[in-house]
């Protein structure tokens, strides 16, 4: 199996899991090895969804479940690019396809300000879990200063449509945001459907 078939298989597996499981812990446990398998090969992400754009990170929708139960997104980071501190409100898995990323989780102090945890460095082929139940406030950055990095994320909602929060790093004050996506079209998962 190669090329886009890998992504199609991952989406099919994810759809089967969310169809039969409702426990976040079970979904994450079953999805983690599927995402590890997907990112073990770097031959399937179409170039249009791996492209950087100046010095701004991109978030490309690869697939959204029609019932909003999950979405799959490629994040493309220019060198040294990173997100603000944000939450998700739904479960998520992050898998690094190319390069290296640094994720910093945050905990709330009693006064509402944010306490950073130790940075977590992820290399290609490694995954990280996001769970609102255990705290899902974090910031992610490209771990490389001289190359782009790409990670594949799967979330328990159509994440680009979710109203969630970004946080002031000094005060912890939350502000609403909806991330949206960088693309208007999604990959064709069925290349054998091309007219001959
Ligand atoms: Fe995130």
Does residue 193 belong to any structural domain of this protein?
no
pLDDT value of position 30 = 98
Domain count, the chain: 1
Q: How far is the CA of 75 from the centre of ligand 1 (A)?
A: 10
In sequence order, which ranges of 21-116 are alpha helices (DSSP H)?
24-39
pLDDT value of position 183 = 95
Closest to 85 in 3D by CA, of 126, 116, 59, 54:
116
CA angle 181, 191, 7 (to 5 degrees): 50
Residue 118 maps to which CATH number?
Answer: 2.60.120.10
Does residue 189 belong to any structural domain of this protein?
no
SS3 154: strand
Whether 68 and 161 have beta carbons less than 8 Å apart is answered as: yes
Alpha carbon of 26 to those of 18, 21, 131, 192: distances in Å? 10, 7, 12, 34
pLDDT value of position 80 = 85
Expressed as residue numbers, the domain containing 40 is: 5-184
Q: How far is the CA of 3 from the centre of ligand 1 (A)?
A: 26
Q: How far is the CA of 159 from the centre of ligand 1 (A)?
A: 10
Does residue 195 belong to any structural domain of this protein?
no
Q: Tokens 């790409």, residue?
A: 150
pLDDT value of position 58 = 94
Q: What is the pLDDT of residues 102-121, one digit of tens each?
A: 999 999 999 989 999 999 99
pLDDT value of position 194 = 64
Name the region of 133 (left: φ>0; alpha: ψ -120 to 50; beta: rest): alpha
Q: How far is the CA of 105 from the centre of ligand 1 (A)?
A: 10
Q: How far is the CA of 35 from the centre of ligand 1 (A)?
A: 16
Q: How far is the CA of 56 from the centre of ligand 1 (A)?
A: 15
Does residue 41 belong to any structural domain of this protein?
yes
Q: How far is the CA of 57 from the centre of ligand 1 (A)?
A: 12
Does residue 196 belong to any structural domain of this protein?
no
Whether 67 and 128 have beta carbons less than 8 Å apart is answered as: no
pLDDT value of position 196 = 58
Closest to 141 in 3D by CA, of 195, 189, 80, 192:
80
pLDDT value of position 88 = 95
pTM: 0.94
Closest to 10 in 3D by CA, of 160, 127, 147, 131:
127
Whether 62 and 49 have beta carbons less than 8 Å apart is answered as: yes
Q: What is the pLDDT of residues 51-73, one digit of tens each?
A: 987 767 899 999 999 999 999 99
Does residue 136 belong to any structural domain of this protein?
yes
Closest to 40 in 3D by CA, of 152, 186, 178:
152
| DSSP class of 55 | T
In the chain, which stretches have pLDDT less than 70?
A: 1-2, 55, 194-196
How far apart CA 75 and CA 150 sit, in angstroms, is 6
Q: Which residues contact 146 (CB under 8 A, 6 or more apart)?
A: 79
Does residue 43 belong to any structural domain of this protein?
yes
List residues bridging with 155 in a β-sheet.
Answer: 71, 92
Does residue 152 belong to any structural domain of this protein?
yes
């Amino acid at each position: 199996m190669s090329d886009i078939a890998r992504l199609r298989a991952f989406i099919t597996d994810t759809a089967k899991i969310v169809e039969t499981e409702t426990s976040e812990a079970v979904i994450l446990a079953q999805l983690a090895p599927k995402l590890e398998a997907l990112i073990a090969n770097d031959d399937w992400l179409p170039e249009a969804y791996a492209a950087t754009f100046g010095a701004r990170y991109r978030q490309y929708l690869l697939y959204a479940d029609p019932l909003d139960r999950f979405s799959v997104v490629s994040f493309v980071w220019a060198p040294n690019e990173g997100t603000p501190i944000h939450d998700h409100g739904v479960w998520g898995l992050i898998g690094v396809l190319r390069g290296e990323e640094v994720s910093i989780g945050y905990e709330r102090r009693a006064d509402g300000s944010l306490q950073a945890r130790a940075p977590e460095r992820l290399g290609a082929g490694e995954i990280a879990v996001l769970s609102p139940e255990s705290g899902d406030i974090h910031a992610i950055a490209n771990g490389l200063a001289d190359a782009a990095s790409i990670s594949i994320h799967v979330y328990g909602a159509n994440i680009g449509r979710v109203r969630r929060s970004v946080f002031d790093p000094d005060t912890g004050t939350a502000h609403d945001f909806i991330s949206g996506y960088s693309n208007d079209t999604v990959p064709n998962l069925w290349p054998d459907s091309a007219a001959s």
